[in-house]
Amino acid sequence: MKKTVISNWNAKIVLIALFAAFSAFAVSCEKDEIVKVQPPPNSCDTINITFQTTIQPIIAQKCQSCHSNSTQLGGENLEGYDNIKSSALSGRLLDALEGSMQGYLNDACEFLKIRAWINKGAPND
Ligand code: HEC
């Protein structure tokens, strides 16, 4: 008789432990989902970009020392909208930025901004 009482208690403890473990698991899943929908802390804004305010300043600062009207290394001129646009629409600009010219940019965000501008048709906005 005594034995049955003990094993009932054991069964209850096991059930409580299982319930606690499952609850902890369920809560941790919920937390994961909440984290996933939050924007990353250093999110890169690729929406509010224009040629005049975003693209032109990056290229002037990072690229024109080697790609301008006076210095055209690799035969590439990136001075002024018309030259930048033709490089963008031919695919040369993106190819270069995915390859050997990547290191001249500050970070991935600058690359994403230029790519977003090219993807919207490289407008003079
Ligand atoms: C220190 C000099 C220097 C800087 C700064 C520089 N480039 Fe270049 N770039 C070169 C040289 C040299 C070549 C030719 C050899 C090569 O393609 O690697 C070239 C070639 C290119 C080409 C032509 C590639 C082709 O296939 O015809 C493009 C486009 C280009 N660069 C874009 C850029 C962009 C965009 C930046 C700024 C983020 C930049 N470059 C910064 C030196 C530079």
- Dist. CA 86 → ligand 1 center (Å): 15
CA distance 76 to 120: 22
Ligand 1 pocket: which of 61, 66, 84 to mutate (most atoms within 8 A of CB):
66
Ligand 1 pocket: which of 61, 63, 98, 105 to mutate (most atoms within 8 A of CB):
63
Q: What is the pLDDT of residue 90?
A: 98
Structure tokens at 89: 């629409």
| Same domain, residue pair 59 and 80 | yes
How many CA atoms does the CB half-sphere of 30 hold within 13 Å? Answer: 6
Structural domain contains residue 45? no
Task: Identify the burial level of 76 via C-beta atoms within 10 angstroms of its C-beta, where 0-12 means exposed, 13-18 middle and 19 or more buried.
Answer: middle
| Residue ID of nearest Cα to ligand 1 atom 14 | 74
> What are the tens digits of pLDDT across the range 65-87?
999 999 999 999 999 999 999 99
- Dist. CA 101 → ligand 1 center (Å): 5
- Dist. CA 80 → ligand 1 center (Å): 16
End-to-end CA distance of the chain: 87
Structure tokens at 117: 């501008």
| Same domain, residue pair 56 and 33 | no
| Same domain, residue pair 72 and 108 | yes
- Nearest by Cα to 51 from 71, 32, 24, 78: 78
Structural domain contains residue 44? no
| Same domain, residue pair 115 and 57 | yes
- As for how many domains the chain has, the answer is 2
| Same domain, residue pair 31 and 86 | no
Structural domain boundaries enclosing 5 = 1-38
Structural domain contains residue 30? yes
Distances (CA, A) of 30 to 12, 19, 23, 36: 27, 16, 11, 10
- Dist. CA 70 → ligand 1 center (Å): 14
- Nearest by Cα to 92 from 70, 116, 74: 74
Structural domain contains residue 82? yes
| Same domain, residue pair 64 and 110 | yes
Structure tokens at 120: 């919207």
| Same domain, residue pair 78 and 30 | no
Q: What is the pLDDT of residue 12?
A: 65
- Whether this prediction's pTM lies above 0.85 is answered by no
- β-partners of residue 67 are 72
Q: What is the pLDDT of residue 57?
A: 98
Structural domain contains residue 98? yes
| Same domain, residue pair 68 and 109 | yes
| Same domain, residue pair 21 and 56 | no
Structural domain contains residue 46? no
